[in-house]
Chains A and B, each alone.
Chain A
Amino acid sequence: MAADKVYDVVVVGAGASGGTLAAHLARAGVDVCVIEGGPAINTRTDFNTHALPYQFENRAIPTMKPGKPGFDSERSRGVGGKSLTWNAVAWRFSERDFKGRTYEGAGEDWPFHYADLAPYYSAIEREVGVCGNRDGLEDLPDGEFLPPVPMKCTDVAVMKGAAKLGVKVIHVRKATLSRPMKGRPACHFCGNCMAGCDVVAKYNSADVHLKPALKTGKLTIRPNAIVREVTVSNENRVTGVKYIDRESRREGEVRACVVVVSCACVQSVALLQMSKSRLYPDGLGNSSGHLGKHFIPHFTGGVQCFLGEFVGKTSVNDEGYLDHAYIPSFMHNRKRDYARSFGVQFNYQNRRAVGWARMVKGFGASYKQAVKERYPAFLTFAPYGEMLPGKSHVDLDPNVKDSYGLPRARRHVFYSENDIKIFKDMTKWSVEILKAAGADILAVGEEPRTNHELGGARMGADPKTSVVNQWCQSHDVKNLFVVDGAVFPSASEKNPTHTMMALAARTAERIAGELKRRSL
């Protein structure tokens, strides 16, 4: 990289959001550099995709093969980010998700409608391949799907139980190929998705977005560069980024006309908070004082159980591509004493996960027999709830630094009364559905745990109460953008990554257009 080169756009973070955005920009003819803290990873060879626990003394399968760097910190996962190890569940949000305040006076409205994002959801589905069934549900819009993958036998049992309570179970929708597409093979159901899919049947941004975009000649990928600051001029324009080289620890700089921060929610917020300047002493683009606020991670509960009709059956290979079914939000049309809702992901354990065995009662030969009988019947159930914006927030730890000398990001999570009501109700429903499916309950999660991270640099029309506008553009600094979960004003209960990717595609189109009009 020539030191004096000025790119049109520099994107920080090469995950699902940054990878999608950079590829879309390059295809639109924009000269773009994507900077990633972690190394370039060869998905074919570098992950421990097919390992089994007994190959390791501590029985834990490390993400990377020996000697292969990657996933060593939140700021240096690798080119592809968490899309390399995600589970690929891909939903469209619905109008009700975007307009919570309008519908029920809770949460925050997004500054645009479902219809504004729908074409970009379609574009992503056509580009990366999303399989699923068209179910015609109001709260879970259909898309342009590859054929769905059949449900597991155990899913069908849950479906029958849920039906007794009027609750619908549908095929999961995943950014995983059920048919070969664009040189990528169809999934072969080895059950290793979260260990890194080595054939790229499952979407990851490095292989599906970034590598093909290199052919445009417009894309530069700079791995191993941990960005520590986005620089801003006295004329209130960002000028580029300063980084620390992951290997040599030397400092470097990349200059660009536009800077996009896509470091995965909390790290995006942290990077802006680290970027202090004369103009922005409290963090870049934080004249509102709202940077770091309105952190709204999903929270999960969980039930572990044994499905009665499978106890004592011969164990079969039903790893599949982990979860094959889903319970979409069904509370919106039911009477309840809280706002918003939850959905349920289930049966996504794989059969290498045997941590439940210690909870089976007894010891001796009868205990051994009891575990064996229950093995084909084990199932996890994990409802995901929507957290309303409240007191949860993100800040920098004043005392603790990471191994690069950068402040550690802290998550402060407060559960509001509404959150706790959702948590209790989704736990109650989970147990009831499983009991209706003939399950013997093994354990019920007693406390909510956070999951997908969202919020912290929310979008909105009002610069006094939000950090970016509907184009993910900083209210304060015109040529600064934040594109990832951090901008979500409200979370919905649905896995968020498809929405991040659609948002990245929409923002890329906007940035490319504005650059052409020379209005950035």
Chain B
Amino acid sequence: MKAPRREALRIVGAISSTCAFPFAANELYAQHAGPHGESPAPPPARTQPEFFTAEEFALVSRMADLIIPATSTPGALAAGVPMYIDMVVSRNQEAQRLFRTSIAAFDLSCRARRGKPFLELDEAAQIEVLTPLCEAADAEAPSAQGRAGRKPEVALFKAVKSMTADGYYTSKAGLIDELGYSGNTVMAEFPVCTHEH
């Protein structure tokens, strides 16, 4: 664990620090991006990406599909994750810079090493391309996000994976069908634990 700087000065400013969770990672990417007071009804389905070009969108969609594929339950595509990622990125300038530069770098390195763009590779080859990126991303500390000097392809994978996980597990397909969330109900009594621990 990195030792925090002693006597570090932090100006927290106007944001009240009474936060329910001590982890930045629990603040989903898009959490602060939307207008206050959106309607609690299913959001209108977007049909066109706002930020990504058609090629970029196809690439991000394929990566999301490979990260959370359809199995016996729906995957990222059925849960609308690519449009979610576009919505997040279209509202976040830092993410826009990251995607624009890293998609270009990813595409170049794919062509250089495999002789073809990513989308023209077969599934096994696509997984081969992503595997080392995932391993490098997994090896990073959670706080490494955005640190300079990382390979842009790793940064791209990590961003797509994080946003895919956020978007999928907060969707109805992910939260209810896949994870089996069953809270938000009325219970007469809270059950006493009768497990053998």
Contacts and interface: CB of A to CB of B under 8 A. Distances in A.
Interface in B47-83: 66-69, 71, 75
Interface string A397-432: 100101000001111111111001001100100000
B122 to A, nearest CB: 15
Interface stretch (B16-24, B98-106, B108-116, B148-156): B16-24
A160 interface: yes
B38 A62 contact: yes
A157 B186 CA distance: 25
A520 interface: no
B33 interface: yes
B178 interface: yes
Interface string A325-348: 000000000000000000000001
A361 B138 contact: yes
Interface size band for B: 35 or more
Contacts of B14: 74, 400, 402, 408-410
A424 B3 CA distance: 8
Nearest to B159: A358
A445 interface: yes
A198 to B, nearest CB: 12
A74 B16 contact: yes
A58 B30 contact: yes
A423 B9 CA distance: 16
A191 B39 CA distance: 21
A381 to B, nearest CB: 9
Interface in A5-63: 48, 50-60, 62
B120 interface: no
A60 B188 contact: no
Contacts of A451: 17-19
A58 B90 CA distance: 12
A101 interface: no
B179 A157 contact: no
B97 to A, nearest CB: 20
Interface in B15-49: 16-23, 25-28, 30-34, 36-44
A56 B18 contact: no
Contacts of B6: 415, 417, 420
A302 B21 CA distance: 8
Contact of A359 (B22, B25, B66, B87): B25
A355 B1 CA distance: 21
Given A57-B34, A189-B187, A355 B27 contact: yes
Nearest to A416: B7
A191 B183 contact: yes
B180 A314 contact: yes
B103 to A, nearest CB: 18
Contacts of A516: none
Contact of B68 (A58, A367, A402): A367
A353 B69 contact: no
Contacts of A363: 66-68, 130, 134, 161
A324 interface: yes
Given A316-B182, A354-B175, A55 B40 contact: yes
A191 B20 CA distance: 14
Given A60-B34, A365-B71, A420-B4, A413 B182 contact: no
B147 interface: no
Contacts of B193: 150-153, 155-156
Instruction: Output the residue of B167, B174, B193 with the most chain A CB within 10 A.
Output: B193
A447 B30 contact: no
B30 to A, nearest CB: 4
A365 B184 contact: no
A449 interface: yes
Contact of B11 (A152, A365, A411): A411
Contacts of B142: 359, 443
Contacts of B32: 60
A477 to B, nearest CB: 28
Contacts of A58: 30-31, 33-34, 38, 87-88, 91
A205 B191 CA distance: 29
B164 to A, nearest CB: 8
B189 to A, nearest CB: 8
Contacts of A447: 4
Given A62-B36, A446-B1, A55 B41 contact: yes
Interface in A89-117: none
Contacts of B21: 302, 349, 353, 380, 382
A498 B72 CA distance: 49
Contacts of B16: 74, 266, 453
**What 6 A-B pairs are tightest by C-beta distance, nearest first?**
A302-B22, A58-B34, A319-B183, A57-B43, A354-B169, A358-B165
Interface of B: 1-4, 6-14, 16-23, 25-28, 30-34, 36-44, 66-69, 71, 75, 84, 87-88, 91, 127, 130, 134, 138, 142-143, 161-162, 165-172, 174-175, 178-188, 190-193, 195, 197
Given A357-B166, A375-B180, 10 more contacts: A54-B175, A62-B34, A68-B37, A189-B186, A190-B183, A350-B183, A354-B169, A358-B166, A410-B13, A444-B1
9 contacts: A51-B40, A59-B166, A315-B182, A354-B169, A365-B71, A380-B22, A408-B14, A411-B17, A420-B4
Interface of A: 48, 50-60, 62, 64-68, 72, 74, 82, 87, 149-153, 155-157, 160, 188-192, 194, 266, 297, 300-302, 304, 309, 314-321, 324, 348-365, 367-369, 371-372, 375, 380, 382, 391, 397, 400, 402, 408-417, 420, 423-424, 427, 443-453
